[in-house]
Amino acid sequence: MALDVAGLFDPTPISDGVNGVISLFRGDFLGAGLSAVSMVPYIGDAAKLGKLGKWAETVSKAADLAKVDSAFAAAAKPALEKLKGAIDALPLDKLPASARETLETASRKLDEALSARPRVELDQGAKGGWNAKLNGDLAPNTDYVVSGRYTYSTDASGRVEQVTGTLDLKHADRNGYQQTKAGQEGGIKDGVDGDEGGHLIAAIFNGPGEQINYHAMDGTLNKSGWKVMENEWAAALKEGKQVDVDIKAVFEGASKRPDAFRVEYVIDGKPSTRTFFND
Domain with CATH 3.40.570.10 in the chain: 119-277
Kindly give the interhelix angle for 97-115 and 52-68, rounded to the nearest 10 degrees: 20
- Per-residue pLDDT in tens (0 to 9) along the chain, 279 residues: 233 333 332 333 333 322 333 333 333 333 323 333 344 343 344 445 556 666 777 777 888 887 777 677 777 788 788 878 877 877 778 778 887 888 888 888 888 888 878 889 999 999 999 999 999 999 999 999 999 999 999 999 999 999 999 999 999 999 999 999 999 999 999 999 999 999 999 999 999 999 999 999 999 999 999 999 999 999 999 999 999 999 999 999 999 999 999 999 999 999 999 999 999
**Predicted TM-score (pTM) of this structure:** 0.69
Distances (CA, A) of 205 to 69, 96, 106, 136, 244: 27, 55, 41, 22, 11
Distance of CA 197 to the CA centre of its chain: 25
- The fold of 119-277 is Extracellular Endonuclease; Chain A (3.40.570)
Longest dimension (CA), the chain: 74
**Which residue, 137, 134, 138, is CA-closest to 118?**
138
